[in-house]
Structure 1
Amino acid sequence: MPHFLIHNKQDNVGVAVVDIKAGEEVEGVYIEDMAIGPKIKALNDIPLGHKIALTNIKKGDVAIKYGRPIGIAISDIKAGEHVHIHNIKSIRWGNLKR
């Protein structure tokens, strides 16, 4: 059973489908074709429905979900970290200014 889903091959975040504990080795699946995704060591607890970084995301880089930009990193984010309002600024309510 996967721990997180990846909506699009271009995404750099996945969505937890179970509660993930820090230190846990977790695996994702691409929902487009149900291909096995990356295995990542979770660096933080990540609640069900929240995002996990699939790659390192530098401050100012775009977080991508559904193959579309969803936010701008306001700090460096390491692969396996919890991605949420503490480290990305949503572009749903704003714009892509960095």
Structure 2
Amino acid sequence: MSSPLHTDVRLILLSPQDNCLIAAARLEAGTEVEIEGERVTLSKAIDLGHKVARGALAKDDKVLRYGAVIGHVTEAVARGEHLHTHNLESDYLPTYTHDAGHEFVHH
């Protein structure tokens, strides 16, 4: 019998505050994993280093990795679902702007 908080060793929690886990191996679609005591069947393949939802997330929920906000989900996400560009948007702001419409003219 496993501990109620047992998580598959192929999924790494980087910080206790994180709501995503990192795949330590490529996991094929249909693979069954355990996340904090709950068995989840992966609906899509998860590549090495990609993020998986630690728990269910609602649209616009912030995603934390290493305890820091890295973005927000653009749709509801189930526990064990792949977090990537199709449902995760970065909250990083550019540090500068570039307006291609303005050119410097030397006289």
After TM superposition, the score normalised by the length of structure 2 is 0.70
Does residue 43 in structure 1 map to residue 50 in structure 2? no
Structure 1: 4+ residue segments shifted above 6 A: none
| 1: CA distance, partners of 2:11 / 2:39 | 10
Indicate whether 1:69 and 2:69 are aligned: yes
Q: Distance in 2 between matches of 1:38 and 1:72?
A: 25
Distance 1:23 1:7 in 2: 24
Larger radius of gyration: 2
Q: Please say if residues 40 and 79 of structure 1, whose CA atoms lie closer than 8 Å, have aligned partners that are also in contact.
A: no
Tell me by how many angstroms 1:48 deviates. Answer: 0.6
More strand, by proportion = 1
Structure 2 equivalent of residue 34 of structure 1: none
Show the 5 A alignment for 1:1-98: 2-27=9-34, 40-41=39-40, 42-93=42-93
**What is the RMSD computed on CA atoms of the aligned residues?**
1.9
Identity of aligned residues (%): 33
Distance in structure 1 (CA, Å) of the matches to 2:37 and 2:66: 17
Task: State the AA in 2 paired with 1:20.
Answer: L
TM-score, normalised via structure 1 length:
0.76
**Structure 1 runs not aligned, ≥5 long:** 29-36
- Aligned partner of 1:33 in structure 2 is none
* Count of matched residue pairs: 86
